[in-house]
Chains A and B, each alone.
Chain A
Amino acid sequence: MQKAILSRELSLLFLAPALVFIALFLLYPFFSIIQMSFTNQTLVGANAINPQNVGFQNYVELFNTKDWMRQGEMGHSLWLTVQFVIGSALIGQAMLGLGIATAFNNRKGLLREIVFTLAIAAWIIPDVVVAFAWFAYLDPEGTLNMMLQAIGIQPLDWLFDYPMFSIILFNTWRGTAFSMLLFSSALASIPPSYMETADVIGASPWQKFRDILLPLLRRYIATDLILITLWTFNTFTPFLLTGGGPINRTNVISIYTYSVGLRFFEFGKASAIAVVVMLINLVLASIYLFVSRNQQGKTA
């Protein structure tokens, strides 16, 4: 054991500011949300001043089987979220990221630099800027429609007629860089002689991918899928494009929570949703920790 540089008291003193902030901005809201989820607190009216303890009523309402799948209800919102996660994270970001990383593996040159720079730029530009750019892009008189018209395709109102497709496309574009970078550095750790041996043996590109790359990338793929699932599940940026609409058609869980709490000001119910979301995240994060610890055990 290495000897501590600071005494226990002094270490606590240095930690104190951070602990105060964590307590104030993380722990207090966390517990107050749980507490609030068992009340009928609202922003205005009698329940704002004197919220009643309603027990599990908020939760019962959320999981009410009769209205569960109706537009604007919890079940419907979860179903939209599943579509959004599968479409934009698992299929969009992970597949596209893996595709780009594999295509440019062991290659250098201008094209690689351009593709990587654009993908990373899309990833790091602030949300609001990106959302406005996409708003302009998808507008009925926007860039996309002008390009489509140029090749003779009728313009569409993307955000109105294909709202889920639009936010999936948007989020894929927005987040592919992470998967691309992760897979790209994973691929770079594979010695070139592995692929060259396969070339000399006469393996086809598909055989090389299936027999060599995929098994060697398996643990990176698991890490990537869990992380981007977690992030996509919680992302709020689609709100800037569609506001959850039209008619709740892109009302993913983060937007649903927001609208119950800060549009309809039902704080109690919104808190209950937030607690459910936290539990789902907890499960995902546990899976992630379990998988990554398992990998450490295997590689060591």
Chain B
Amino acid sequence: MASIEIRNLRKTFGKVVAVNEVSLSMTDGEFVALLGPSGCGKTTTLRMISGLEMPDSGSIHINGKDVTSLPPRSRDVAMVFQDYALYPHMTILDNIGYPLKVRGAPHNELKEQVTSVANNLQIGGLLARRPGQLSGGQQQRVAVARAVVHHAQVFLFDEPLSNLDAKLRLEARAFLKHLQREVGITAVYVTHDQAEAMALADKIVVMKDGSIMQAGTPLEIYRHPVNTFVASFIGNPPMNLLPCEINGGSIYVQTGDSPQAMSAAGLRLPAALAKGSQFTLGVRPEHIRVLTEPAADSIKGTLYVTQTLGGEALVIVRVGEQLITIRLFEDEAPPLPNEVYLSFDADHLFFFGPDGQVLR
């Protein structure tokens, strides 16, 4: 187990800045998810922690020791790759035991340790097989087992679940979370799936274009996104973002040719929101009510489609040019007229300035 301290990490490939001045600290036993769309620099950051890439500038400390210029083998990290990187010519026993073999462990000791770890991960019966004979979920466990056998201080995961189908992914997610709690590992986990990050991580680091947008606990990031990017990236379905203007006591929602006014009375407007200014209003799908009659704080829309998901239902309403998603925690979407009115929960509104940053 270990703490990790990253300072001003920077990496360029040719003219492309992959990682730009990233600083990050992780405490012992913490499970940190690097979350972002493809090309945001999350995998490059992970590879620099592992030592597979060398940063242009900045430093990495593991347990207080500067490892910035050390090769991977001297960093005491274990890594699980997206394709698992199991050796097709070796049995599962040899695959899991390879870190021990490299260190020159005697064969009976190797077998003992591998068997114990494999039994723990419920793959004890597969040791004589080869990777090609295993399902995706089993291969994933073998890759994790190899990392566990390694007894590394830090676990690095590079999108380990993205090759699994949806059902297996949920299973593997629970398995990894359980493993992490049981073994108490410090882990850095790269993913583009916000649900995975929310479910697994103690801390989420949202990245975009090589920079950290926001770092915090899953709830912090869900409740207090610092900008429209984080707001729309976290949560499923994503947050609705509406261009608005405030004027007098009303907010004008500008989603189409003719702005719709709704009363601003009862809203806790941020101090930074000046009268007469443009802003973006953010509201999550679960914080909108669908009305059949207009109210002072409602806007009008036309029903686009409803989706029944079982346990919850989505109502999608067209307001001007924009589609707004509403999430209802009911088994089935209620029958709705073509013309509906949307009312936003005043306690759960977000206000973002023209630059996309949250207004306080």
Q: Is A111 an interface residue (CB 8 A)?
A: no
Quick one: CB contact mask for B146-180 with A, threshold 8 Å, 1 for yes? 10001000001000000000000000000000000
Given A201-B73, A211-B87, A215-B90, 20 extra CB contacts under 8 A? A191-B85, A193-B81, A194-B85, A197-B146, A198-B98, A199-B52, A199-B72, A200-B51, A200-B72, A200-B78, A201-B78, A201-B102, A201-B150, A202-B73, A202-B74, A202-B102, A211-B98, A215-B89, A216-B87, A216-B88
- Chain A hits for B82, CB < 8 A: 193
Quick one: CB contact mask for A153-197 with B, threshold 8 Å, 1 for yes? 000000000000000000000000000000000000001011011
Q: Is the CB of A201 within 8 A of B89?
A: no
Quick one: CB contact mask for A200-230 with B, threshold 8 Å, 1 for yes? 1111100100011001100000000000000
A211 to B77, CA, bound (A): 21
Q: Is the CB of A196 within 8 A of B102?
A: no
- Chain B hits for A216, CB < 8 A: 87-89
**Contact surface of A with B, Cβ cutoff 8 Å:** 191, 193-194, 196-204, 207, 211-212, 215-216
- Chain A hits for B216, CB < 8 A: none
A199 to B74, CA, bound (A): 10
Q: Do A202 and B83 form a contact, CB below 8 Å, given A196-B52, A207-B102, A216-B89?
A: no
Q: Is the CB of B89 within 8 A of A196?
A: no
- Chain A hits for B77, CB < 8 A: 200
Q: Is the CB of A200 within 8 A of B102?
A: no
Closest Cβ neighbor of A197 among chain B residues: B85
Which of A191, A193, A201, A204 gathers most chain B CB within 10 Å? A201
A185 to B20, CA, bound (A): 35
Q: Is B276 an interface residue (CB 8 A)?
A: no
A202 to B87, CA, bound (A): 16
A192 to B74, CA, bound (A): 20
Q: Is B268 an interface residue (CB 8 A)?
A: no
Closest Cβ neighbor of B50 among chain A residues: A200
Closest Cβ neighbor of B78 among chain A residues: A200
- Chain B hits for A194, CB < 8 A: 85, 87
A150 to B87, CA, bound (A): 50
Q: Is the CB of B85 within 8 A of A202?
A: no
Name 7 interchain pairs, CB-CB below 8 A, sorted by A.
A194-B87, A200-B72, A200-B77, A201-B98, A201-B102, A203-B73, A216-B87
Q: Do A197 and B81 form a contact, CB below 8 Å, given A202-B102, A207-B102?
A: yes
Quick one: CB contact mask for B43-68 with A, threshold 8 Å, 1 for yes? 00000001110000000000000000
Q: Is B230 an interface residue (CB 8 A)?
A: no
Closest Cβ neighbor of A208 among chain B residues: B102
Q: Is B99 an interface residue (CB 8 A)?
A: yes
Output the least CB separation between B160 and chain A (Å). 12
Q: Is B79 an interface residue (CB 8 A)?
A: yes
Q: Is B354 an interface residue (CB 8 A)?
A: no
Output the least CB separation between A110 and chain B (Å). 15
Q: Is B103 an interface residue (CB 8 A)?
A: yes
A15 to B65, CA, bound (A): 74
- Chain B hits for A197, CB < 8 A: 79, 81, 85, 146
A197 to B81, CA, bound (A): 8
Q: Is the CB of A193 within 8 A of B83?
A: yes
- Chain B hits for A201, CB < 8 A: 73, 78, 98-99, 102, 150
Q: Is the CB of B79 within 8 A of A196?
A: yes
Q: Is the CB of B73 within 8 A of A191?
A: no
- Chain B hits for A193, CB < 8 A: 81-83, 85
A191 to B86, CA, bound (A): 10
Give chain B interface residues in 110-160, CB to chain A under 8 Å: 146, 150, 156
Closest Cβ neighbor of B98 among chain A residues: A201
Quick one: CB contact mask for B98-110 with A, threshold 8 Å, 1 for yes? 1101110000000
- Chain A hits for B146, CB < 8 A: 197
- Chain A hits for B79, CB < 8 A: 196-197, 200
Q: Is the CB of A199 within 8 A of B150?
A: no
Q: Is the CB of B87 within 8 A of A212?
A: yes
A215 to B89, CA, bound (A): 7
A191 to B143, CA, bound (A): 15
Q: Is B71 an interface residue (CB 8 A)?
A: yes
Q: Is the CB of B78 within 8 A of A191?
A: no
A211 to B99, CA, bound (A): 12
- Chain A hits for B150, CB < 8 A: 201
Output the least CB separation between A180 and chain B (Å). 23
